[in-house]
Structure 1
Amino acid sequence: MSDSISDRLGRLSPEIQAIMGVYALYWKLEETFDTIETDLSHPECHMLIKLDEPKRMGVLAADMLSVPSTITATADALEQAGYLARQRDPSDRRAWLLVLTEQGKGARDMLVSAAGDLFHKASGLNADETAEFARMASKIRDNVLKTGIPEGLKK
């Protein structure tokens, strides 16, 4: 029999097909993210992407599924390289906000654009399909996080 892989996998349950699709997408994106031309480390890129607005270290740590002490070194490196600055939080002068500099905004814009292009190329989804996938993926993520952060996300 000369079934294609799509035919063979199409006979599996929708749940197994979804799991296999998520794994394939994850590994393809992991492989292709290294093609983004930047001198920044993965944690530095992750932090820049999460800094869509000025944030306190604790809020940023929560967004990155981490604790403030583990992201301090990344924030320090980005600040030293000119990508972000610390500013007093106007709502609480005792606290500090991490704020992207113009250099940081430019790097973030490039990363968001490149990641989006890589996602579309890897997934084969159009804009409407991507929006629907994002909605469903957010629901999945929220459900997973309700039960505690998975060990693989703590790294």
Structure 2
Amino acid sequence: MDDKELAELLHLVSRRLRHLYVHRLVPLGLNPGQARALRALDGVERPLRMVQLADQLRIVPRSLTPVVDALEEAGLVSREVDPADRRSTLVVITPRGHAMAEAARGARREAGEELFAVLSDDQREHLRELLTVVDGQFSVGTPDRG
């Protein structure tokens, strides 16, 4: 198999994983961008400014606004004025948002389990090792893999 075929196969497998993940997010009322934002907010000790969250997600702030709007409307986050800089807005995850972030992580894990169910434990470990090597060469200064 040449590199072009390998790249195409990896792309197809990635699309299948995303499809399985999206299928599990729909009942939660989330899309992948919203789930990713929730995971980012759930993984920090303090609320993030909108600009910080956009940076962490590696998107432009104006692209984040509709994501936060939808999460706020669903009661998963709230916006607060940053007391350290009243011109900035903090995005605060709610208790319901923490629970939804955990549900989104579960959806992602289940999608992976379904996709890789055809592999033995040894095959999964070998694939993990190979993908880690490939990913490692690009790990510094590349877009978020979330």
Normalising by structure 2, report the TM-score.
0.70
Q: Judging changes above 3 Å, is the alpha-carbon distance between structure 1 residues 135 and 99 closer, same or farther for their aligned structure 2 residues?
A: farther
Aligned equivalents of 2:81, 2:133: Cα separation in 1:
34
Aligned residues: 133
1:23 to 1, 11, 25: 11
Which amino acid in 2 is paired with 1:57?
A: M
The residue correspondences of 1:75-114 to structure 2 (distance < 5 A) are: 75-89=68-82, 92-94=84-86, 95-114=88-107
Partner of 2:23: 35
Structure with bigger gyration radius: 1
Q: Judging changes above 3 Å, is the alpha-carbon distance between structure 1 residues 136 and 74 closer, same or farther for their aligned structure 2 residues?
A: same
Q: Which has the higher contact order (CA 8 A, sep 6+)?
A: 2
Structure 2 unmatched ranges of 5 or more: none
Alpha-carbon RMSD across the aligned residues, in angstroms, is 3.1
Q: Give, in angstroms, the shift of residue 112 of structure 1.
A: 0.8
Instruction: Tell me the SS of whatever aligns to 2:89.
Output: strand
Say whether the 8 Å CA contact 1:120–1:126 is kept in structure 2. Answer: no
Identity of aligned residues (%): 20
Between 15-24 and 64-73, report the one with greater CA deviation: 15-24
Between 130-139 and 64-73, report the one with greater CA deviation: 130-139
Structure 1 unmatched ranges of 5 or more: 1-11, 146-155
